[in-house]
């Protein structure tokens, strides 16, 4: 316990990843206010399909928005984590490309193709080639400046795509509800901060359980986006293998794979109060099955007023877990050497 209660940030976190995690709510609020200043053409309201382009942290923001919006929106929403657009992309399609650097090759390829197909375009970026293309195509560009690794800019990416959906009437969220949720989340975050001792800090406790383990995150329906974010943060910040499984699908295959290996697996089950009643029962029964097979597992749930608040609670908790696991793994949470190596090999 002492190791996580006496963290030397200058030594373990020289590039201040913790400060980005700690400030998630403040950054999200500031970014959402910034987004109000960007106008979107009124004819974009006539979009009949939505395609969201993005990789990594930008792609996760898109997944979050899709999961929230498709609860009430009757338009189809597609999230693309690749180079090519689906064949159904046309002039009736809204295409939003998100790239922190503005140079993500997959998002750029999709954005160029979308222009060729006469789609309605929006860009979200800090600059780079995507900003240049947005100006060339006369497309709205949510341009922001934030010094961090792309994954730490999730509050910006999410705030901007959220603003797009709200402005176009694709997702209902009043300023009052947004602001009240931010205040709830700020208070919620306090329990996970370094100043909160391990005995009262769920994020530290889970990080300890994940040390020298392979985390597998279970989630159903719209919370699967949160599971993917947690998985990615464990990969990128803690340099740890981690995987996701979606319920109920996992009950038709993974539930038979509990024999080997056992000792290296730890399952985190993200249970939503808004899951279908049948899936809620599946979570409980699946937990019992895992424990019967001696697979370390725990079910996590948070009381929330709505989907929006609940999803962000899981994501905030996951960010803190990834930082504390990085400390236990004795790695720099900022480091991206292997990804940079990969990019150089790709050319």
Residues identified as active-site: 236, 252, 343
| Residue owning tokens 């689906």 | 86
Bridge-partner residues for 125, per DSSP?
A: 99, 143
What's the token pair of residue 30? 């500031």
Closest CA to 118 of 153, 94, 82: 94
DSSP, collapsed to helix, strand or coil, labels residue 117 as: coil
Find tokens 């020289």 and name the residue.
14
DSSP 256: G
What does 287-326 look like in DSSP terms, one character per residue? HHHHHHTT-EEEEE----SSHHHHHHHHHHHHHHHHHHHH
239 phi and psi angles, rounded to 5 deg: 55, 45
- Measured on CA atoms in the order 74, 80, 86, 89, is the torsion positive or negative? positive
């Amino acid at each position: 316990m002492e190791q996580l209660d006496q963290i030397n940030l200058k030594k373990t976190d020289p590039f201040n990843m913790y400060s980005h995690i700690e400030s998630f709510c403040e950054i999200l609020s500031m970014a959402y206010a910034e987004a109000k200043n960007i106008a979107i053409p009124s004819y974009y309201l006539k979009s009949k399909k939505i395609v969201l382009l993005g990789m990594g942290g930008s792609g996760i923001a898109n997944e979050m928005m899709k999961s929230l919006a498709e609860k009430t929106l009757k338009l189809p929403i597609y999230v693309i984590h690749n180079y090519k657009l689906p064949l159904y992309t046309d002039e009736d399609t809204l295409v939003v490309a998100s790239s922190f650097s503005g140079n993500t090759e997959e998002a750029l390829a999709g954005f160029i193709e979308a222009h060729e197909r006469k789609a309605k375009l929006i860009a979200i970026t800090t600059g780079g080639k995507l900003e240049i293309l947005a100006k060339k195509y006369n497309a709205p560009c949510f341009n922001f400046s934030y010094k961090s690794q792309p994954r730490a800019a999730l509050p910006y990416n999410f705030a901007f795509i959220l603003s797009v959906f709200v402005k176009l009437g694709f997702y209902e969220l009043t300023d009052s509800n947004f602001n009240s949720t931010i205040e709830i989340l700020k208070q919620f975050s306090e329990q996970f901060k370094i100043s909160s001792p391990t005995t009262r800090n769920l994020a530290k406790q889970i990080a300890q359980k994940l040390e020298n383990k392979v985390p597998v995150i279970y989630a159903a329906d719209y919370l699967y986006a949160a599971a993917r974010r947690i998985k990615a943060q464990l990969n990128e910040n803690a340099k740890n293998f981690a995987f996701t499984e979606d319920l109920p699908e996992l009950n038709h295959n993974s539930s038979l794979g509990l024999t080997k290996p056992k000792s290296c697996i730890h399952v985190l089950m993200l249970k939503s109060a808004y899951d279908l009643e049948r899936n809620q029962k599946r979570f409980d029964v699946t937990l019992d099955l895992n424990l019967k097979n001696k697979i370390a597992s725990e079910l996590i749930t948070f009381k929330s007023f709505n989907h929006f608040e609940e999803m962000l609670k899981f994501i905030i908790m996951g960010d803190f877990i990834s930082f504390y696991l990085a400390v236990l793994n004795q790695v720099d949470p900022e480091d991206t050497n292997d990804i940079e190596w990969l990019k150089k090999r790709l050319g």
